[in-house]
């Protein structure tokens, strides 16, 4: 179970990091419909940090033994 956790978190953070490299800003709408939309602009360091942390997680997945218990 730990192996799949590290793999999924690593892939997810790599995907989010790549998405932040592609877009400049995102408009976030509130789920309940009240209030106005908010704009989110990621700092320059965030996409590269997410990609590198995701790569480390995937490499950690590769280094874990096949039968990891507990």
Q: Outline where 1-70 has alpha helix (H).
A: 2-22, 45-63
pTM for the full predicted model: 0.79
pLDDT, tens only, 11-63 = 999 999 999 999 999 999 998 888 899 999 999 999 999 999 999 999 988 88
Contacts of 25 by beta carbon, 8 Å cutoff, 6+ apart: 39, 40, 41
Report whether 6 contacts 46 (CB < 8 A): no
Query: Which three-class secondary structure state does DSSP give residue 48?
Result: helix
């Amino acid at each position: 179970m730990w192996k799949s956790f590290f793999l999924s978190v690593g892939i997810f953070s790599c995907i989010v990091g790549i998405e932040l490299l592609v877009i400049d800003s995102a408009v976030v709408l509130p789920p309940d419909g009240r209030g106005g939309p908010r704009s989110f602009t990621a700092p320059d360091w965030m996409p590269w940090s997410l990609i590198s942390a995701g790569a480390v997680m995937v490499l950690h997945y590769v280094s874990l033994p096949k039968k990891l218990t507990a």
